[in-house]
C-alpha cells in the first residue's frame, strides 16, 4: 500500500522547490501517494492540477509572534556567549516604539529575553509557544483535517514559518511523523528555526553540522543530508534557449556581451541602486574603449521599491530590465510567489550572461552552476549615513565563513577597481569559478541533481522508523 505523504506549505517560499520542480514526479515514481497540505493563497489544484487539502484557517495565537521574536533573540544571545562572537547581535532587527501597541510588544519581548536568554530558558519559550498554539483554533482545525485524511507523514517545506506551528503540533499529537526542510543556506546561525519536528532535511554535511551545533536537543540520526531542489533546474538542458532565441525573447542585442546585475532586498542592501549605477558607469567607460557591453538587471522578487528607477532611466541604453516571473498575490514578502516559467528565465540569464554582480546573494551558486563568475560588492557608498545599514556587515555573517578560500568569489572592495575587474573577467584573466565550485559543494552538497530523490529516500527511511 502506498504511503500517504502531506507536503506542507505553511507559506509560499517552498513553492519553487517543491511544486515547480520535479519533486512531486520523483516521489510518485518512487511509489508515494502525495497530497499538498496548502496554507497559501496559491491553489495548487487549480494552477497545477495537484491533489491538495487547503488550510483556510490562517490564525496564529496573538502572543506567538512576541514569544517567537523573544525566542530568536534569546538564541542569538546564547550563541554570542557560547561562541564568544559578536556577529550574532548583528542578526537582530531593531525594536519599534511607534505607537502604544508596538511599544507594549517591544517592552514585553525585551522582558522575555531578559528572563529566558539561556538554553534552558529557550526550551521554556518553545514550550510556551507550543502551549499557545495548542489553544489556537487553527490547531483543532488542522487536527480534524489530519484525522480525516490520515497521512502517514508530514513534510514541512520550511522550518521558519510561525503559520506551521499549530499544524505540526496537531500532527505530532496524533503520532504522525513530522519532517522539516531547512529552507536557506543562512538560516541555521540566524536562529530561524521556528518549528520543532521529529526529523530534518538539510542541504549538506556543512548544514548538518550547524544544526547539531546550534540545537543540541536535536540528535544526529534526526538529520538527513539530502541537498535542495533549488538548483536542480540548472541541470535541465531542456530549459536552454539558443542565444538568438533568448535575445529575441527579451529584446536584447545579440551582438552585446551582457553582465547580470542581481538586485537585493532593501534590508540586505539599502543602497543597492548605487552599485548598479557604478556598474553602468564602468560599462560605459569600457564601451568607450571598444567593448560592446550591456547589463541585465534582474530585481529581487520581494523588492517593492522604486529606488532603481532613476539609475535605469539614466542608463537605458545600457541596462535592460528582465524582471523575475513572480506574481504578487498578497501584501507580505512571502506572498510574492514564483511562477514555473521563471526557472527557464533564470537558467538562460545565467547561461547567456558573462558573469553576475551583486551584494552577498546566493546567485553566486546559480551562476557557478553554469561556470560563470560572480563579483561581490564590498565597499561603502558615499550616500551611507547614520541609520542606513552598511552592506559590509553581510560578509561577516556566519554563512560566509563557509567559503573554502577568499577566491570563492571576486570581491570588489573599491569602486575605482570595478572597471578593471570587469575587464579582467571578460578577458579570462580573473575568475572565481574553480574555487566557487568548491564553495558550491560545501553549501549545496555533492549531488545537487539528486536532491528530490534524496529527500524521498529520507522520507522512506523515516517511515520505517515510526
Is it the case that residue 70 has pLDDT exceeding 90? yes
Is it the case that residue 388 has pLDDT exceeding 90? no
CA–CA distance, 114 with 66 (Å, rounded to integer): 14
CA–CA distance, 322 with 421 (Å, rounded to integer): 24
Range of weakest confidence among 83-92, 219-228, 378-387: 378-387
Q: What is the mean pLDDT of the chain?
A: 95
Give the contacts of 50 (CB within 8 A, at least 6 positions apart). 19, 24, 34, 36, 44
Q: Which residues pair with 254 in a beta bridge?
A: none
CA–CA distance, 348 with 344 (Å, rounded to integer): 6
pLDDT at position 332: 63
pLDDT at position 263: 96
Q: List, for residues 311-321, the tens digit of each pLDDT value.
A: 999 999 999 99
Task: Provide the pLDDT confidence category of residue 369 given band limits of 50, 70 and 90.
Answer: very high
> 417: which 3 cell numbers?
577597481
Question: What's the predicted TM-score (pTM) here?
Answer: 0.94
Please compute the mean of the pLDDT values over residues 85-90 and round it to a whole number.
Answer: 96
pLDDT at position 439: 98
Is it the case that residue 330 has pLDDT exceeding 70? no
Is it the case that residue 466 has pLDDT exceeding 70? no
Residue-range domains of the chain with CATH: 4-60+136-227+448-465 (3.40.50.2000), 64-130 (no CATH), 233-444 (3.40.50.2000)
Amino acid at each position: 500500500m502506498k504511503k500517504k505523504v502531506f507536503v506542507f506549505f505553511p507559506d509560499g517560499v517552498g513553492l519553487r522547490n517543491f511544486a515547480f520542480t520535479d519533486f512531486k514526479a520523483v516521489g510518485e515514481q518512487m511509489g508515494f501517494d502525495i497530497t499538498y497540505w496548502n496554507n497559501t493563497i496559491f491553489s495548487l489544484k487549480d494552477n497545477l492540477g495537484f491533489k491538495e487539502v487547503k488550510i483556510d484557517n490562517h490564525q496564529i495565537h496573538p502572543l506567538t509572534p512576541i514569544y517567537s521574536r523573544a525566542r530568536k533573540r534569546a538564541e542569538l544571545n546564547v550563541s554570542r556567549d557560547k561562541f564568544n562572537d559578536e556577529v550574532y547581535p548583528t542578526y537582530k532587527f531593531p525594536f519599534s516604539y511607534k505607537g502604544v501597541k508596538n511599544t507594549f510588544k517591544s517592552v514585553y519581548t525585551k522582558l522575555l529575553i531578559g528572563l529566558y536568554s539561556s538554553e534552558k530558558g529557550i526550551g521554556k519559550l518553545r514550550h510556551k509557544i507550543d502551549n499557545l498554539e495548542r489553544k489556537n483554533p487553527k490547531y483543532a482545525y488542522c487536527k480534524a483535517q489530519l484525522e480525516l485524511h490520515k497521512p502517514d507523514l508530514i513534510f514541512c517545506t520550511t522550518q521558519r514559518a510561525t503559520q506551521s506551528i499549530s499544524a505540526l503540533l496537531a500532527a505530532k499529537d496524533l503520532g504522525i511523523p513530522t519532517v522539516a526542510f531547512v529552507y536557506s543556506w543562512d538560516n541555521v546561525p540566524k536562529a530561524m528555526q521556528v518549528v520543532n519536528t521529529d526529523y530534518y532535511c538539510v542541504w549538506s554535511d556543512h548544514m548538518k553540522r550547524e544544526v547539531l551545533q546550534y540545537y543540541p536537543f536535536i540528535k544526529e540520526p534526526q538529520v538527513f543530508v539530502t541537498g535542495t531542489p533549488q538548483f536542480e533546474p540548472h541541470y535541465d538542458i531542456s530549459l536552454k534557449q539558443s542565444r538568438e532565441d533568448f535575445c529575441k525573447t527579451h529584446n536584447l542585442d545579440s551582438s552585446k556581451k551582457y553582465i547580470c546585475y542581481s538586485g537585493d532586498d532593501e534590508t540586505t542592501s539599502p543602497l543597492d541602486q548605487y552599485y548598479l549605477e557604478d556598474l553602468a558607469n564602468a560599462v560605459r567607460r569600457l564601451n568607450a574603449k571598444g567593448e560592446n557591453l550591456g547589463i541585465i538587471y534582474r530585481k529581487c522578487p520581494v523588492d517593492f521599491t522604486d529606488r532603481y528607477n532613476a539609475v535605469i532611466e539614466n542608463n537605458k541604453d545600457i541596462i535592460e530590465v528582465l524582471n523575475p516571473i513572480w506574481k504578487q498575490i498578497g501584501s507580505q514578502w512571502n506572498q510574492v510567489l514564483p511562477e514555473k516559467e521563471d526557472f527557464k528565465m533564470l537558467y538562460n540569464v545565467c547561461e547567456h550572461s558573462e558573469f553576475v554582480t551583486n551584494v552577498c546573494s546566493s546567485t553566486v551558486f546559480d551562476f557557478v552552476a553554469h561556470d560563470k563568475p560572480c563579483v561581490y560588492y564590498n565597499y561603502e557608498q558615499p550616500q551611507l549615513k547614520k541609520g542606513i545599514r552598511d552592506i559590509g556587515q553581510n560578509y561577516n555573517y556566519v554563512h560566509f565563513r563557509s567559503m573554502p578560500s577568499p577566491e570563492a568569489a571576486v570581491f570588489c572592495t573599491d569602486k575605482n577597481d570595478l572597471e578593471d575587474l570587469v575587464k579582467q573577467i571578460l578577458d579570462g584573466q580573473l575568475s572565481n569559478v574553480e574555487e566557487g565550485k568548491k564553495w558550491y559543494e560545501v553549501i549545496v552538497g555533492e549531488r545537487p541533481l539528486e536532491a528530490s530523490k534524496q529527500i524521498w529516500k529520507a522520507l522512506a527511511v523515516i517511515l520505517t522508523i515510526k
